[in-house]
Chains A and B, each alone.
Chain A
């Protein structure tokens, strides 16, 4: 094993809009363990214009399906390939700005969209049939493969496939999206892959940046809220600081729902505001002008969101022809407009009891991304904190204020009357949006107002250094932590998973058959562990696909595997897309036979959930019980 040991720990932030790669030299770190290891961001070689190659710290997560007449052979090359199989990165974004029908974007959001077949080639969505299509999975493979090539261009002796690679994913990714991300990594050839939740990566980066002093900055009983607002998604996590054998340890105790709301929505909101203003003046804009305005607003926003005296920033979008003068569209963006559109629009001051206005749309009803309908980030946060009110009560029950006789029942009765949301004591922000001090301050003041009104101490800010790169650097540091260095944040499954079992009872017209939920994977189940096969047995038909209803809960954290629920509150269990298993016909059986199986869950070392059906009475030639894999991604 040791001769195969990887030289580098590589962290890949596989973002909705950008990818970043960071690495840590494990050999160097091992040579001097006393020293804090150095984390480096690799400049990613990529095409930026036809025939132009540049190195940039971020690889835009876009793919362009070029027409054969669009580019000259000579202009279409990368250092590692005279004819690369895909155009990804800056070039894709630049070409796609003018030809959106050929641009693949937000592949990551599609990867987490259960309403579509994520292995089917349908991106760019809505384009003519003539445009070549790829699947969200394939696009992800291409981004990873570009990173692999860029890496090997620089470190030819150390193929990326052989290194320890940590890929970050939103904490809210469901089991199917995790599985697909791991599959993409496998398709690129990565041998040692681990998945890490983005908010945790940000926290690891913070721990690394603090060095040995991180233990002085948090204390036992602290609850850290990580708010990560990236280009496409908002991700929320809670981490509790506990003690184990006298050492401070970190436990990720809750993660939020998958919220498709990020910086891109904010840029669009500004652009449409400017468009409306111009429309009032009688100017109708064309699509390319709106695009230009969006770009200009993105730059202007950065200036106007700083704590400075700039009141207005002019916006000019030149005409497309070579005649610039007289064709330049002029307007301006004022501080007040940015404040109204972004600060009040996306970060309104709301009460803790104020939750997102509309239920999220059913993901299965449409072929489009299920964007969050309520753009107010604080309302999503309020809903999360309220829902997770008890998230830390298991791990922080030894907190100093409780006396020796800890009584879970007493706690359970007292808690709802005293508190109605979990009170974070420290906050960490991550993601490009929160780089703006104005938005960061607004977010912090809203949370602290909730805390003060509830009689709690205001939370303090744990500050990150570079919100754009923190996730990647944190991920490469995680690879080092996995080798037994530094502090590891305990996570495991952030939800409890159930399969639905229809009760066997005579059908009654007008009454739905009662459904019971069998817990198959408990909350907090750690990587590399598995549950014992459930006692409940299912009769499954051999040789035909069988489907299960699948549920998860991120509030019921005490259900053990095998527990059968016959009733629950409506919002406790969330239905996920169906599961499917096809039981191959085993020896001595014929198609259509019914076999008895039990369900067993494993959380792999990679960080994905695996479900298997195990035959209760069939054994194979080695006398092992026969097993069948259960698929998360049901293909219709």
Chain B
């Protein structure tokens, strides 16, 4: 799995931090969706259908589901464990040299890559090369492909693929014991 993070230069700026937080947000959102559906595989599609439907019948109020934060907390714990993500984001980087930040960023990158690949399977939504011209047929899935820029006229639409998109095809998050406190994302450590 090639996360584009790998191609960034070794001296790191806030971009890495931003990207990491984005990933986190994306995951948290994704779980909200997962939780609301009983079926993992169909979860995305069902969501799509309902969102299309809601566009057409906007007048009806939509019941929003409150998701349990457990899955998001669990992911946070995993990213802290493998990638020290919380430690990294809680630090003030301004006092450190790029070399120091770079060394820490390697830990974050290596670890989050390991954690994400262990629990998620990613696939590109579009298989075409980025910056190539593609055509979207009528009835394309608006949740999968976002139209931007000069959005006028009728489908089929032809435009430039800017980002190929990511989707998660499989999630296997660890299970938790009944009494496990997910809020404790990293226990304090005392060496005797």
Contacts and interface: CB of A to CB of B under 8 A. Distances in A.
A51 interface: yes
Contacts of B181: 51, 74
Interface in A307-339: 314, 316, 318, 320, 322-326, 328, 330
A74 B84 contact: no
B174 interface: yes
Given A52-B176, A53-B175, A77-B177, A326 B100 contact: yes
A502 interface: no
Contact of B177 (A75, A98, A318): A75
Given A320-B189, A324-B84, A53 B174 contact: yes
A72 interface: yes
A3 B57 CA distance: 62
A572 interface: no
Nearest to A94: B81
Given A323-B87, A323-B91, A324-B84, A77 B96 contact: no
A72 B179 contact: yes
A299 B81 contact: no
A325 B179 contact: no
Interface residues of B, number: 27
A324 B174 contact: no
Interface string B122-155: 0000000000000000000000000000000000
B120 interface: no
A51 B103 contact: no
A289 interface: no
Interface residues of A, number: 27
A48 interface: yes
A74 B103 contact: no
Nearest to B114: A299
A324 B158 CA distance: 47
Contacts of A51: 176-177, 179-181
Interface string A112-148: 0000000000000000000000000000000000000
Contacts, number: 72
A570 B30 CA distance: 70
B40 interface: no
B104 A318 contact: yes
Contact of A324 (B104, B176, B177): B104
Contacts of B93: 325
Q: Which has the most chain A C-beta neighbours within 10 Å: B81, B110, B181?
A: B110
A48 B84 CA distance: 17
Contact of A75 (B84, B180, B189): B180
A342 to B, nearest CB: 21
Interface string B72-100: 00000000010010011011010110011
A168 to B, nearest CB: 27
Contacts of A54: 174-175
Contacts of A322: 87, 90
B110 A299 contact: yes
A4 to B, nearest CB: 34
Interface string A56-94: 000000000000000011111100000000000000000
Most buried by A among B87, B99, B103: B103
5 contacts: A51-B177, A74-B180, A316-B103, A318-B107, A330-B99
